[in-house]
Each structure stands twice: as structure tokens, then as C-alpha cells.
Structure 1
Amino acid sequence: MFPFPHLTELGSSWTHVLLALGAGLILPSVVDPTNNRHRAALMGISFLLALRYVWWRGTETLAPAGWTIDMLASWSLFALEMLALIGSISAFTIMSRIRLRSEEADAHEAWWGEQEPRVAILIATYNEELEILERTIVGARSLRHRNKEVLVLDDSRRDWLRDYCAEQGVRYMRRPDNKGSKAGNINHCLDRLAEDPVPPDFVAVLDADFVPHRGFISRSLALFHDPKVALVQTPQHFFNADPIQHNLGISRSYPDEQRFFFDYMQPSRDAWGIAICCGTSSICRWSALREMGGFPTESVTEDFLLTLALQERGWKTVYLAEPLTEGLAPEGLKEYVTQRARWCLGLMQIARSKYGPLAKNNLRLRDRWSVIDSVFFWMTSFPFRVAVVVYPLLYWFFNVIVVNATLTDVISYFGVYFVWSFMAQRTLMPGMFVPVLHDTSQLIGALPISRAAFTGLFRPKGHPFSVTAKGGDRTKVIVQWEMMAPFLVLLILTLLGLTLGIFVDRFAFNDAGDGKWVVIFWTIYNVFVLLMTILACVELPRRERHIADLPDRGILVTDGDIRRQWISSLTMEEARLRGKIYPIGTTGLLRLRDVGDVPVEVIAQTVDGNRVRLTPTPQQREALLVRFYAEGAAPGTGRAQLAGLLAGLGRRLSFSDRR
């Protein structure tokens, strides 16, 4: 019903793509990702191919000028695409450099001499449960740095938390109001610390759900050897899967959504001198904070604004790319999207503030670029993602051609640009981008984030701080129908349009030639993205999980019997043991490394051992918390693993994923 493209031209186009693919495959063997000249070369080629693609799109694929639906649709999509591409080119430029500071931290370890600097560790809390706060407080108390004070800043004025802090020997603070939200809470504490006989030299900030590793303070302080450094930011890692990882069943084979920013973008930003504060997991010099009067409160993202305020005064923010804290990722899809919409809103407030890129201030050109880059990301990426799903429907239902291109040209121009960019990113950021899943993570929050972007830009004031909810009952399947509805409608329309367009003669343009193949491929790709997005809206039950990469060993002591057992699963309440099978109800002691002899009771038999219930003492419970959260390497996975992805998605699609 529609002609095939000319085979000779098609073969020539695929040759271009294969050349880009072949060159990309040898990149890992010749490119050093830490060499800035190598990085600049890769990103420079991506930039040139992007310009080639832009020229083709602007000169050969647009509808003729005139007040027609074709022109409005074609040119509006082109405008959205070009704005998103400007953001990509800005990201290419940032990614052309990288700076890793671990060797610098090694070289300047304990630069202060015999007298450790005094560090105040601020834990800002609003309405979190004790289970969440407990691990953060215990982790902060367990830091190896001795000259420290842990302070819990309670913006909910809870007496039970005051009493718990007294039991733990940490300082508790509350204030009479909630003015300024989190930033105001921290500023109130800074004012009280200024009244102490000996104020701190440095201030560390932790969110209520972030646990520091034991070396967090000492490693971060090493970078303050430079007297111009005001703030050291460290990455955020998460001990639980984010909602997309969890709901798609790929938490073990696909990195969380924040890995790209913290593992790759922040070190690149640091190389340009534009690393940003991300709130939690950061340490700031006391004198710098007092000089500027504390945290700025003009934005709901006070951390990024703090960076700009420091930069304007000549201070530096640097980044230490080491896993020194781990926290709780949003457990629910609504919380996940709400958090990102807040980040977007806050950035737009910054763009309109006195620290904005067009305002009269003392910011450097690179600092202004830093804000502009973030504005382009939030304002273009998400609206464009929605447009990519919606615009093919104009062809199927209204015979509107938004991209008037042959399949050969699409392969030659877009295909080469996409393949090279993907291979370059694969070389510099291995396992970060899986096309359908990357688009799913953007599409799922695209509508509220786009709304937040334009609301913040045109009406920046008067928006309350939206706290990311934590904890709660996560034991049931929850279908987020409200979030799913627009994607379900789009999927139905996409499938209907595709079916009618292929099988019903004259439903869509038959004279579109081989360009119809472009729309078909585009539409089929959207079907997969929409399916994944809808599947991610079905929230699966969660349970606490702490499983090492390799099973650990323990000793089970029962009446008259001592056995070594493999520990394949260990939480605060339960353990799964592999070894001798004991009767249900058997009691004994489980000897755990760095914890001691924990009383246990067998509660179930398995094919290769038992499940036991733990009843640790308060001291053992704290030791377990330290073991789970404050020691070891980064939790989770840092790169996508194809076999695991396919297996996880297969189980999820077959509804056989048992968590």
C-alpha cells in the first residue's frame, strides 16, 4: 500500500550509520574518559553532527511557509526540537571536561594537623518517622571524625523526637515557626550556633533520610585545604530502588535516575568550576556561611541558590565523586514526580531572582551559563518528550506531515548523529543510557514538570515548599490511575492510528512515499515508551532489603549445635540462612561480624535452610544500622546490564516478578 525506499540510496544511508557504529565500537579501546582532550574530541564530533542534522531539518524537512496546519505543526515541532538540541549541545560542552578529586583528597588528608576542625552536622527534619531518622542519627554519631556535634533540626516540634535525641546524646533544636522552610530551619540553627562559646569551623548538612558513611567528614574536609573553597558536595546514592527501577523490575540491572548527574555531570561541572550544591551530603565553611547571612531563601531549591551566592562573593564550590552517603530515594511515583517538579520550580525561581543569568550581579559568565543550561534542560527536555509522542498522531488522524523526510535521509542525518552520540556517551558514561527506558523516565513526569517550568518562570513567587513524603505503607500494589490516564489515552490513540493507517486505505497519506516508513518507526517506538510508562505507573509492594553482592558468613549457635551458615539475606528483623535445616521455633544466637551474638528464632524452613527472626539489643540494632548504611561501597548498580534488563522486564511483563 506504500512503496519501499530506493534500495541503493537506503544502502548508502546505512553505510554511514555502520561507519559511525564501527568507529564507536573501537572508542573504548583508544579513548581515556579522564583525558579532557579525548573527551573534547568526542563531544566536538557530536556537536558537528548535531549541526549537520540541524541544517538538514531546517532546510529540507519543514512544511512550506504559510498559515496552514502543516506549517504550524511542522515548525512548532522543529522549534521544540531545536530548543532541546541547544540544551544537548550545552551538555556536550560541559561533558567535554572532567575533574576527579580523590587524589587531591589523598594528598591533603588531615591538612589541619593535630587539632581536628570542629564540625556541626545538621539533620533537617519535618515529618519523618523514627525509623527513618534513627539510621541517620546513628550514622552521624558513628562518623570517624571526633570533633563533631550532631544537631537535629525539628520543624514539626515533636516531643518524642526531643526525647529520642536526649537518649542518643545529640542536640535537638526547634523554632517557633516554619518560615523559609528547610533553608529557614537551617538558618535558625546557624544563628543559635553563632551564640555558642565555640562556633564550628564547618557545617555539614544531611537530609533526614541520608546516612553518612563513616569517612564522610574526613574525606570531604581534605578539599578545604584550599582557603577559597567554601563548599564541598559529595554524590547522593540510594539504598532503595527509585519507583521506575522498582516498578519495572530492573533495580539490579539499571542505574537510578540520579546516577548520570552525580557520577558524570557533576565531575564535568567541577572541571568548569560550576559544580553545584545539592543540599544533603555537603559540607560548608562556617565563615563563608556567616559572611552571606546563611542559606538564601528566595527559591525552594536553596542549595543551587547557595552555590550562586557563594560564587558571587568569590568562593568556590567543589565536588568529591566518592560514595560517602546513601539515602532513601522516593518510594512512590507521586513523590518521585513531586520532587522533580520542585527542583524544576526552584530553578526557574533562581532564573528570575537577583542571581539569574540576565540580572545585574557579580556572577562569572560560566555561572550564568550554568543556570541557562539548567533552564534549557527543564524547559525543553520534558515538553519535547510529550511532543514526540503526540505529533505522530497528527499524521495518522489528520494527514498532517510534521517531518517531511525520506527514510534514507532520516537514516543518513538523524541516524548517524544518534548512533555517534550514543556511542560517545557509551564510552564516556558506560551503561547510563538505554533509549526506551531513558525516554520513559522523562515522559512519566513530563506533564507536571513542564507545568512547573512555565509556572516558575512566569510566576516565580508564592509557591510553598513541597516536602517529599517518606515512609508509609508500601506493602500493596497501587495503580496510579491519575498519572497513568494520559499515557493510556495516548497509547490507545497511537495503536488505533497505526492500525488504521496501515490497514485502511486512504486513512493517512498514501502519497507520503517512503516517508511513511519514518512515521511508522516513530510510532512503534512511541508504543514501547508508552507501554513502559504505563507499566511504571503500577507500583509494586516493597520490603526492606539488604543483600550484598556476595553472601556473607555467620555462625548459628543453638542448643548443643554450632554451625557456619551462609547469610543470603539480612534485614533489621529477619535473615535467610543457607545450611542445616532446623525445626520451626528453634531458638539460638546468630553471630554476625561487627554486631555480635544476636538472638534469633526460626520462623520458616526453605529448600536450603531457614528464615529466622532477629531480636537485637539496642546496641546491636545500632551496629546493624551502621553495617547496612554507614560502611561499604555505593549501593545499587552504576550501569545498565543488558541481560539483567531483559530478564527483569521479561519477569515484569509476565507478572511473575515476586518481590
Structure 2
Amino acid sequence: MLALTETQSALVHLVVAAAMVVVFTTILRPERNAHRVVMFGLASFFALRYIAWRATETLAPFGATWDCVASWSFFLFECGALLSSLSAFLILSRTKSRSAEADAHAQWWSPRRAPKVAVLIATYNEDRSILERTLAGASALDYPDVDVYVLDDGRREWLSEFAAAYGARHVMRPDNTHAKAGNINHALRMLLAQDEPPDFVAVLDADFVPHSDFLTRTLALFHEQDVGLVQTPQHFFNPDPVQYNLGLQRSYPDEQRFFFDHLQPSRDAWGIAVCCGTSSVIRTSALADVGLFPTDSVTEDFLLTLVLKNAGYRTVYLAEPVTEGLAPEGLKEYVTQRARWCLGQMQILRGRLGPFRPNALSLADRWSMVDAMLYWTLSFPFRVAALVYPILYWYFNIIVVNADVPDVLTYFGVYFVFVLGTMNFISGGLIVPLVHDVSQLLGAFPIMRAAAIGLVRPHGHPFKVTAKGGDRTRTVVQWTLMRPFMVLFSLTAGGLLIGLFSPSFAFADAGDGKAVILFWTLVNLLVLALVMMACVELPRSERHLVDLPDRVGVEIGGEQHVVWMRGLTPDGARLRGIVGRVGEPLRVSIERIGVVPGVVAAVDEGGIRASLQPDQAQRTAILRHLYGTGSAPGVVKSSSTSVFKDFVIRLRSGRP
């Protein structure tokens, strides 16, 4: 019998790992907890097997050398990231769907009257068009006893009449103390002073539109009295900056899909689902019991979950698309939002309900906070370290990972293949290598800064509003965000060129370690190029991410046509399969909206763009049709093949 070479043996290990992924993902079901335990149990085994190999076979010997410092420090970064991953694996080994529970307990209050609900829309400086969508959806809620309040921290007088047109009440306060939490608390104190306070309050950000069944579905889960809060996912009708700037809005999901569609249901299965602010419904008596919204963190939503748990109330999660909103359109806003989340978590860790403080929180709740801490404080430094450490070899001959290629394939390769397969098994292909790295790296430096500041000096930081809307018609290069990645790209590329073309820098004595560093470097260059590309913000106009085009009737030039409508806003539509002249009048017949007049605004390949002129009733109906009904907008599943195809199109065309 012929013996296998080390390389052949390593390739066999890789093939076996890939075959295991294929077999398991074919016969197992991600909705079954026992099947998830099998997958994540094996993923954890391969992760521990890999880190054990790293600890025993690849590190520089102890001594007063730079090799030792670099090798062991990077290993510690890697151990921290792996610890965060193992915690996530444990959480993801369970999942829970409450849709059947919501079906079974719909109208649990019958034959008594339906509970009274107040919908609180918190706003600061959002445009009229943004508020118009939200009010149109809130005024069409399919629920018998609901009042809508617009909580205006911008103190805009025009908003009073605008809100009244949708049957909503405009509420202002004299100052902006405690930002969003203070705004909501001001309204809650007003509501609690009424003769008949609402039984529940629903919280919406100004850019989040409720679907008509938002209240009927969420209220069904309050059939048990210890449920204090029901959270629902945040879906987005526009692409986030990573999707858009890389041209992947049709094939790659927004960055928050994994958290809302997969991690939150898993957290719910462990009893540690968290409030995420908007798109939540809260029992008013529970809020009164805990003194309303907490104000000692800029992430008052996560802290509210802990405050309620400390008082004996549960937070549960309904994984259904019952609202949809506006994702941050600009990179600065995208990064600012995530840095604020990190800062808020650090404030909670250092606060009265921290995991190591004496309080009534359960062990699971404390684990929930530790898991968040591991993610925010360890994952991002490791991602940056993975970009920096290979540079040390090319310039200083410092070897970080001293390993043979066959061993790398046997241990790291098997670990990577199986973990990637497991994560995509439970998420429908949401984890696409390289692109996933881009979304994480863009905010890495601000997040690391926020983590350090929050741990050292947790208090005294103002709440930074995530700006929405605004002019997005120009190409904008975010140089400040791009600069550290440009520096890393230049150093990496320069080091590689020196190493490849100058024998004095080739370090022939590195053996297989050089091949490992070479591959690592090439991957880093590709990731850095994608990050820099994502920092170039392309012009965009608002379009709803329609799942499928609609068939509509069009009257133009005295003739009737049935054509495809591939895009719709209150002001315009894109029509395919029809010709016309710019300025020519037309009438578009849209189901549930009516016949909307307009003119041909432009002629493009395969059709026309129409400028619509709806009356107010039709405009409101269009807003409700686009944002207040239907399934989840955008992409909820993905594949590397579709992402690659769209990226090639983006490179060829120069636009999304």
C-alpha cells in the first residue's frame, strides 16, 4: 500500500471536512435544536483542535526575541476571538420560533376589550418624507384601540399639523435631557398621568414603518403576565453602505440580518433575547414598575431588557418582519451607530446591572452580557491584528506562525471549512468570506476606541443620533475611514514586493512559513482593497427593495398596455416593455392604489421612467403598499456565487 505524503494527507482532511458539511447540511435541519447541537459541537471540537495545535506546534520559543513577542501576542488575540466564537456557538446551538405561539394566542384578551396601545414615534431631525412613511403605516395599523404619538425632540412647529393629518398627536418637551430615552420617558409620564393609561406602548424610530399586523402579532405574546417586552426584527428597505458601494444589494444581505434572523431567535431559546429599541412593544405596568426607560447607557434598549429581567419580567422575540426601516445610507453614520452600540455595552458592563455586580439577574443574563463584551472587545482587535502581523515578516523577518503548509491545511483548513459550513447551514448562506470581513473591518478602529473609552471612562458621553436621509446624489470618498486601510494596504503591498523581488528580504530560511505568510498577505490585500472600495460612497436615490416586479396597466398615447413595473416611489415608477416620449402624459393603474396620472420623465433601455402625480390619498396608499405590507424587504439568504456575479457586474459597470 502506498503511503500518503503530508500534503496528500492534508488534502484528504480537507475533503473529509467538506464532505461532512455536505452530508450534514443535507440530512440535518437548522430549526431542530438537536441537529444544531451536532453541528456546533463538531465546530467547537475543530476550533479547540486548531487552537491546541497552534499552542503546541506553531509558537516561537520563549525568549527575549521579537519572534516570541509577535508570535505569542498574535496567539493571544486569536484565543480571545476564538473564545468569543465558542460563546456564540453555544448560543446558536438552540433556536426558537414563536410564530405558532402568536397564532395560538391571538386575541387572548377576548371576550374582554382589546388592550389599549400607544405607539410612540421618537424623532429628532428626520426629513418630512421619512416621517410621512412612518405615519402612513402607523395610521393603518389593523388594531381597534391605538393612539399614535410623535415625540419631537426637534421641536418643529410644522410637525403638529403634519402629524394631525394622520390622526397622530405631536408631543414636545422643553429640553433634550437623556436624548431618546428621555424623550420617551417624557411621553410615558404624560400617558401614565391619564385617567386610562395605555396597557402597552410600542416604540418606533422615526424611519421605521409598522406593517398593518405589527400590533396583532406582537400583542399575542403578552398572554403570560411575566412577559414585559416583545422585540421584533429590524428589516431595511434600502441597502446599507457595504451592500450598495460593492454593488451587492441584490445578492448579499444587510449586515444586521444574521443578528436579527438567527442570533436573536437563539438568544430567545436561552431566555436572553434583548430589546433593540425600535419595533418593540412593552407592557406599560412593567415600565412603571422599573421607573421607565433607564438613562445610564446610550444603549438604553439593551439596558431596559436587564432592568426588566432584574424586576422579574421576560423579554421574548418574534422573528417576523412586521416593521421595516431605513438603514444608515452613509458610512460615517453606519460606523457611528456601531461605535455607539459598543460604548453602550461597555457602560452597561461597568454599571449597576453589570455581570459581576450583586443584582437579581440570572446566570444566563450575566453570560449574555459577557458574550457581548467578548464580541465588542476581542473580535475587532483580532481582525486588525490579522492585517498587521504579516507585515512584520516582510520588513523585519519576524515569523508569527511557524507552520508547514500541510499542517495549516489539516488544522486551520478543516476548522475554517467546517465552521463556515456550519454558520451557513443555520443562516442560509449569509456568511460570505471576504465580504463579511469588510463589514466588520469598516468600523473596527472606532469600535476599538469606543470599547477602550467605555471601559475606562463609561460616563459623560453624549448620545449621537444616526442621521438618515439627506443628499446622496454625489460620489463621496470617506478619506478619514479609508486612511488606515490605505496605509495597511501600502505597507502590505510594499512588503510583498520587496520580499518577492529582493533576495535579501526573501528570508529563504523561513521554509513553509513563507508560503503561509504569502497566502495570508494576498488575502489581506484583497480584503483591504474591498474595504477601500466600500469607502467610496456612490450616488444613490431611494428605491424600495421590491421582492418581485408587479404587472400594471398603463395608458399612453391613447393605447392601453400591460407592463412590468420594476420600481415604485410616491413620485415615480420604472416601467419596462413600453415606449414613450419625454413629457408625454400617461396614467398608471396600480392595484389597491388606483389610476395615478403622470408623465414620461426619461427613456432608458427597455422602457421608461415615469414621474407620478398622485393625490394625497393615492400617495398615502403607495406608502402603505411599499412599506406597510408584504414580507421582508431585501435579501435574507445568499450564496458566494451570486455575490461574485454581482461584484463582477459592479466592477464592469462602475455603479451598483
Instruction: Give yes or no for TM over 0.5.
Output: yes
Of 549-558 and 299-308, deviating more is: 549-558
Q: Please name the residue that 2:268 is paired with.
A: 270
Q: Percent identity?
A: 55
- Aligned length in residues: 653
Which of 62, 82, 95 in structure 1 is aligned with 2:79?
Answer: 82
Change (3 A) 1:448 1:648: same
Question: 1:558 Cα deviation (Å)?
Answer: 4.7
* Alignment deviations for residues 181-203 of structure 1 (CA, whole Å, 9 cap, x no partner): 11111011000001112100101
Question: 1:567 Cα deviation (Å)?
Answer: 1.7
Question: 1:546 Cα deviation (Å)?
Answer: 3.0
3-state SS of paired residue (1:506): helix
1:69 to 2:66 alignment:
yes
Change (3 A) 1:195 1:525: same
Aligned counterparts of 1:203 and 1:138: Cα–Cα separation in 2: 18
* Alignment deviations for residues 432-474 of structure 1 (CA, whole Å, 9 cap, x no partner): 1111111111111110100001110111001000100111110
* Alignment deviations for residues 311-333 of structure 1 (CA, whole Å, 9 cap, x no partner): 11111100000011100000000
3-state SS of paired residue (2:5): helix
Aligned counterparts of 1:315 and 1:369: Cα–Cα separation in 2: 18
Of 578-587 and 316-325, deviating more is: 578-587
Aligned counterparts of 1:405 and 1:582: Cα–Cα separation in 2: 66
1:31 to 2:28 alignment:
yes
3-state SS of paired residue (2:583): coil
1:254–1:639 CA contact under 8 A, matched in 2: yes
3-state SS of paired residue (1:441): helix
Aligned counterparts of 2:36 and 2:164: Cα–Cα separation in 1: 52
Q: Please name the residue that 1:571 is paired with.
A: 569
Question: 1:556 Cα deviation (Å)?
Answer: 2.2
* Alignment deviations for residues 161-188 of structure 1 (CA, whole Å, 9 cap, x no partner): 1221223221111111111111111011
Which of 250, 255, 258 in structure 2 is aligned with 1:257?
Answer: 255
Q: Please name the residue that 2:180 is paired with.
A: 182
Q: Please name the residue that 1:224 is paired with.
A: 222
* Residue identity matched to 1:615: Q
Question: 1:648 Cα deviation (Å)?
Answer: 1.9
Q: Please name the residue that 1:103 is paired with.
A: 100
1:211-610 equivalences under 5 Å are 211-546=209-544, 548-558=546-556, 560-610=558-608
Question: 1:78 Cα deviation (Å)?
Answer: 0.8
Aligned counterparts of 2:172 and 2:263: Cα–Cα separation in 1: 36
- Runs (4 or more) in structure 1 with deviation over 4 Å come to none
After TM superposition, the score normalised by the length of structure 1 is 0.97
Question: 1:418 Cα deviation (Å)?
Answer: 1.1
Q: Please name the residue that 2:45 is paired with.
A: 48
Question: 1:584 Cα deviation (Å)?
Answer: 3.2
**Structure 2, unaligned runs of 5 or more:** none
Question: 1:66 Cα deviation (Å)?
Answer: 2.0
Q: Please name the residue that 1:201 is paired with.
A: 199
2:237–2:545 CA contact under 8 A, matched in 1: no
1:13 to 2:6 alignment:
no
Aligned counterparts of 1:54 and 1:578: Cα–Cα separation in 2: 55
1:547–1:568 CA contact under 8 A, matched in 2: no
Question: 1:46 Cα deviation (Å)?
Answer: 1.2
* Residue identity matched to 1:68: T
* Alignment deviations for residues 291-316 of structure 1 (CA, whole Å, 9 cap, x no partner): 00100011000000000011111111
3-state SS of paired residue (1:392): helix
Change (3 A) 1:146 1:499: same
Q: Please name the residue that 2:615 is paired with.
A: 617
Question: 1:607 Cα deviation (Å)?
Answer: 4.7
3-state SS of paired residue (1:331): coil
* Residue identity matched to 1:97: R
* Alignment deviations for residues 619-649 of structure 1 (CA, whole Å, 9 cap, x no partner): 1110010011001110001122334312221
Which of 633, 638, 641 in structure 2 is aligned with 1:640?
Answer: 638
Change (3 A) 1:547 1:389: closer
3-state SS of paired residue (1:456): helix
Aligned counterparts of 2:255 and 2:557: Cα–Cα separation in 1: 49
Aligned counterparts of 2:299 and 2:332: Cα–Cα separation in 1: 19
Q: Please name the residue that 2:627 is paired with.
A: 629
2:547–2:633 CA contact under 8 A, matched in 1: no
Question: 1:579 Cα deviation (Å)?
Answer: 4.0
CA RMSD in angstroms comes to 1.4
Aligned counterparts of 1:498 and 1:113: Cα–Cα separation in 2: 71
After TM superposition, the score normalised by the length of structure 2 is 0.97
Aligned counterparts of 1:214 and 1:598: Cα–Cα separation in 2: 23
2:496–2:521 CA contact under 8 A, matched in 1: yes
1:206–1:281 CA contact under 8 A, matched in 2: yes
1:397–1:508 CA contact under 8 A, matched in 2: no
Of 274-283 and 404-413, deviating more is: 404-413
1:345–1:453 CA contact under 8 A, matched in 2: yes
2:547–2:634 CA contact under 8 A, matched in 1: no
Aligned counterparts of 1:493 and 1:634: Cα–Cα separation in 2: 43
Aligned counterparts of 1:609 and 1:13: Cα–Cα separation in 2: 55
* Residue identity matched to 1:497: G
3-state SS of paired residue (2:393): helix
Which of 54, 57, 62 in structure 1 is aligned with 2:54?
Answer: 57
Change (3 A) 1:599 1:519: same
Aligned counterparts of 1:60 and 1:608: Cα–Cα separation in 2: 61
1:118–1:200 CA contact under 8 A, matched in 2: yes
Question: 1:611 Cα deviation (Å)?
Answer: 2.3
* Residue identity matched to 2:152: D
3-state SS of paired residue (1:576): strand
Aligned counterparts of 2:561 and 2:51: Cα–Cα separation in 1: 68
Question: 1:545 Cα deviation (Å)?
Answer: 1.4
* Residue identity matched to 1:100: S
Change (3 A) 1:547 1:118: same
2:234–2:324 CA contact under 8 A, matched in 1: yes
Aligned counterparts of 2:108 and 2:92: Cα–Cα separation in 1: 31
Question: 1:580 Cα deviation (Å)?
Answer: 4.4
Q: Please name the residue that 1:143 is paired with.
A: 141
3-state SS of paired residue (1:557): strand
1:27–1:424 CA contact under 8 A, matched in 2: no
Of 292-301 and 482-491, deviating more is: 482-491
Question: 1:550 Cα deviation (Å)?
Answer: 3.0
* Alignment deviations for residues 71-130 of structure 1 (CA, whole Å, 9 cap, x no partner): 111111111110111000000000010001111111111111142111100000111111
